[in-house]
Amino acid sequence: MVREPFPVSIDWGTMLGLPPALIFFTGALLIVLIRGRFQDGARKVVMVLTPLIGLWNLTSLVPGEAWEYMIFDLDLSLVRVDRLSLLFGLLFHVGALLGVIYALRVKDPVQQIAALAYAGSALGAVFAGDYLTLFFFWEAMAVSSAFLVWAGDGKGAASAGMRYLVIHVASGLMLLAGALLHLTRTGGLSFDYVGLTGVEGWLIFLAFGIKAGFPFLHNWITDAYPESSPTGTVFLSMFTTKVAIYALARGFPGTELLIYIGAAMALFPIFFAVIENDLRRVLGYSMINQIGFMVVGIGIGTELALNGAVAHAFNEVLFKGLLFMTMGAVLLRTGTVKGSELGGLYKTMPKTAILCMVGAASISAFPLFSGFVSKAMVMAALLEDGHTWIWFGLLFASAGVFHHAGIKIPFFAFFAHDSGIRTTEPPGNMMLAMVLAAIGCIFLGSFPVYLYSLLPWTVEYTPYTFSHVMLQTQLLMFSALAFIWLKLTGLYPPELKSVNIDVEWLYRWAGPRAFKAVMNNVLFLVTNFGESVREISAPVIDRLIKPNGSLARILPTGATILLTAAILAGFLILYLLRGAG
């Protein structure tokens, strides 16, 4: 049988639509090709049409269908459609549309290409039916999103983008290694439940954990996001960590370890966010906090918990995107998002202030706002599963997020001491994107049935019960009173002009200095060793190569022949011994 040089067979099945990632990659390619007098306008049209066409295409995808192909006798799936992938597909199209509208005034084609490629890669990852396809889009996300970090104006954007890229490429390599071990053990690459079985399970788990921002693996969020451009940060907040949540829900539902990891993620960022001065960095910590709730839900693994996790991921794209948009607007108009340098902006940016408070109410899980109807599902699932102490921990985390994201962000940006800054509202396209995100937060919080109807598993939960509304209202009220008391007594940490570093101290400060010290010592030892060898060998070499030295003498013909024969005999003996072995 003659094998083809590159054996690929494709079964397109009965799919009516196109792979969602293909539409966004096509849009990115068109941005590259567009030239001429009207290129700015044409590129904006492509940016807006791409997610709209993608949404239309998404309606033609039906659960149970797949685009399958074969490479080297491996059955792979470019697009696997089920209710879980469709939910995240809808989420990423909505997020991309909001991000595109917000970034319409950006004329940098590099950012435009990176944004579309990044969104397309995220869509490719959530529709991937196998680990090889997932790996391709996993790494494509890393590369494309790094350009959004590099687009930042700050002096730290270049180094932060490089650290970001290295960390995410390492995540991809772990995923590839785990996938290959999984192939060796099972004979297939299907992206389904894997669990913590064997080395491959742990490698894949860590790869997902890096993108999810597990404790000690989280600093790429608080390092890179504040360095990105105002529009780039909005895109970054919508995709990478949500792809990780999707991957964990697909590959590790019911993994108990995730409950404790998620609880740690929900708790530790509170303390760093309270003392942080950069408000976009505060939002980075609050993102880790919110992802912690999702990870806990995945770890519980019941239908209620999994629905709560993916519903909260859906809502977080809206309210966290809205908060990053408002801070991007502040950065655009004032040139800073340092809490110590802002305040009083409500006088000249009142609409932005109101929209920021909508995002703050949503992330704090106020009744009638989106966070309320999704976070409650995870909390209820904890009690149903008997994790009472974790429930108390997340209750404390809920109060904490109200402090640092629900109160601190709008208070220090818009209502604290008057900084004297007088500016104007952001451009109309940015306002439109913020208004749409705010409407989404209020609509889904007020009418959760529409969100629940999209969830992958059966929903039997009612968020608006008297006990739940009263408990959450009391929690928020006492949290607000605690903030007021701390401010009035002077106990609340002041906004200092400083940079707080947590675990990243290991690779941003200690690591480089330790490496430099080791290399200096190695260089010192090598130099001294070389000098010692030279001093010892110099007299011997002089005796051998001087005019009357041993190597300078002419050997007799017979001695030369004997020496050559001895060398050949030695090689012959070695060859025979090797053959016998």
Split into its structural domains, the chain has a count of 2
Q: Looking up tokens 């196109």, which residue turns up?
A: 18
Where do the H-state alpha helices sit in 364-404? 370-384, 388-401
Of 502, 534, 554, which one is at a domain's C-terminal end? 502
Q: At which of 467, 502, 537 does a domain end?
A: 502
Query: In which domain, by residue range, is 546 found?
Result: 508-580
Q: Are 463 and 448 in contact (CB under 8 A)?
A: yes
Verify that 494 and 514 share a domain, yes or no.
no
Specify whether 496 is located in the same domain as 547: no
Residue 355: name the closest of 327, 331, 388, 378 by CA.
327
- The pLDDT, as a whole number, for residue 523 is 75
Q: Are residues 568 and 498 in the same domain?
A: no
Burial grade of 520 (CB within 10 A; 0-12, 13-18, 19 or more): exposed
Indicate if 520 and 564 belong to the same structural domain.
yes
Residue 115 near residue 239 (C-beta atoms within 8 A): no
* Statement to judge: residues 272 and 421 lie in one domain: yes
What is the rounded distance in angstroms from the CA atom of residue 398 to the CA atom of residue 392?
Answer: 10
**Separation CA 211–CA 217 (nearest Å):** 8
Residue 188 lies in a domain: no
Q: Are residues 573 and 459 in the same domain?
A: no
Q: In angstroms, rounded to a whole number, what is the distance separating the alpha carbons of residues 370 and 443?
A: 8
Considering the domain boundaries, does residue 326 fall inside one? yes
The answer to the question of residue 413 being in a domain is yes
Q: Where among 502, 524, 540 does a domain terminate?
A: 502
Q: Token match 């389904």: residue? A: 192
In a domain, 153, yes or no: no
Specify whether 414 is located in the same domain as 552.
no
DSSP state, residue 411? I
Asked if the structure places residue 475 within a domain, the reply is yes
**Which residue type sits at 552?**
A
Element spanning 92, H or E = helix 83-102
Could you give the C-alpha distances from 491 to 275, 354, 494, in angstroms and in order? 12, 27, 8
| Residue-by-residue DSSP string for 118-179 | HHHHHHHHHH--BHHHHHHHHHHHHHHHHHHHHT--STTHHHHHHHHHHHHHHHHHHHHHHH
CB atoms under 10 Å from CB of 62, counted, come to 13
Do 279 and 377 lie in one domain? The reply is yes
As separate numbers, helices (DSSP H) first and strands (DSSP E) second, the chain gives 23, 3
Q: What is the pTM of this model?
A: 0.84
How far, in Å, are 8, 235, 288, 349 from residue 13 at the CA level? 16, 33, 39, 53
SS (H, E, C) 428-455: HHHHHHHHHHHHHHHHHHHCHHHHHCCC
Q: How far apart are the first and last CA of the chain?
A: 36
Residues 402 and 439 in one domain: yes
Which pLDDT value is given to residue 399? 85
Kindly state whether residue 202 falls inside one of the protein's structural domains: no
In a domain, 376, yes or no: yes
Which run of H or of E encompasses 559? helix 557-580
Residue 265 domain-assigned (yes or no) = yes
542/568 same-domain check: yes
Going residue by residue through the chain, which has 581 residues, state the pLDDT in tens, using 9 for 90 and above: 333 333 434 444 444 578 999 999 999 999 999 887 888 899 999 999 999 999 999 998 888 877 777 777 777 888 999 999 999 999 999 999 999 999 998 888 999 999 999 999 999 999 998 999 999 999 999 999 999 999 887 678 888 888 899 999 999 999 999 999 998 888 888 898 998 888 999 999 999 999 999 998 888 898 888 889 889 999 999 999 999 999 999 999 999 999 999 999 999 888 888 888 889 999 999 999 999 999 999 999 999 999 999 999 999 999 999 999 999 999 999 988 888 888 889 889 999 999 999 999 999 989 999 999 999 999 999 999 889 999 999 988 888 888 778 888 888 888 887 778 888 899 999 999 999 999 999 999 999 999 999 999 888 888 898 888 888 888 888 888 877 777 777 767 666 666 666 666 666 667 667 767 777 777 777 777 766 666 776 666 665 555 555 555 665 666 666 767 777 777 667 666 655 55
316 and 451 in a common domain:
yes
Residues 515 and 496 occupy one common structural domain: no
